Amino acid sequence: MMGLRTVHGMVTVVDPGERALRLKETEGQFCRVCCTEATRVLGEDGEGTLSLEALQPGDIVKAEVMEEAGGRLLVQRLFLLRPAWREIGSFET
């Protein structure tokens, strides 16, 4: 295993059967991260623990991942930064 690194992105696919998420990191750049039984999924406040199934496309997340030798990204901790249902407020509204 390699060192711990952070991945930020928008959830595009949640696959509970494979325990995996597809994240859009930047325009045109995607990555697949895999969760294990030890993965902690934390809510917006960083305290509440969520299930993987609670995540949905459009959620903005930050994942702390370990890269395996084959390039597979294993999530240690995943933080929900902004749920998909929350509108981004602007000073104009």
Residues 6+ apart with CB under 8 A from 72: 34
**Can you give the CATH number for the domain in which 54 is found?**
2.40.50.140
Residue 6, pLDDT > 90, answer yes
Residue 87, pLDDT > 70, answer no
Q: How far apart are CA 68 and CA 11, in angstroms?
A: 21
H/E element holding 31? Answer: strand 29-42
Q: How far apart are CA 27 and CA 63, in angstroms?
A: 18
Per residue in 20-76, pLDDT (tens digit) is 999 999 888 999 999 998 999 998 877 678 888 899 999 999 999 998 878 889 999
- pLDDT score recorded for residue 26: 87
Domain count, the chain: 1
- Does the residue 53 lie in any domain? yes
- pLDDT score recorded for residue 23: 97
What tokens were used for 33? 């991260």
Residue 15, pLDDT > 90, answer yes
The parent domain of residue 16 ranges over 4-82
